[in-house]
Amino acid sequence: MPRNLLKLLLFMTYLLIAWGSVVRGTGSGLGCPDWPLCEGVNGC
């Protein structure tokens, strides 16, 4: 059980890092510069 959890966590960490590089590379992180109030409007 702990070994499977470790594998899952390592995989999820890899996905998070990969997704962060996609967001950084495409400039998508600049879509809402003042999160959580995107341009003064609550997005929820």
- Local confidence pLDDT in tens for the 44 residues of the chain: 799 999 999 999 999 999 999 988 998 878 887 777 877 777 66
Round to whole Å and give the CA distance between 43 and 41: 6
- Give the pair of three-digit tokens for residue 9: 């966590």
Number of neighbours of residue 32 by Cβ within 10 angstroms: 13
Q: What is the pLDDT of residue 29?
A: 79
Residue 44: predicted pLDDT = 60
Find out whether 29 and 23 touch, Cβ atoms under 8 Å: yes
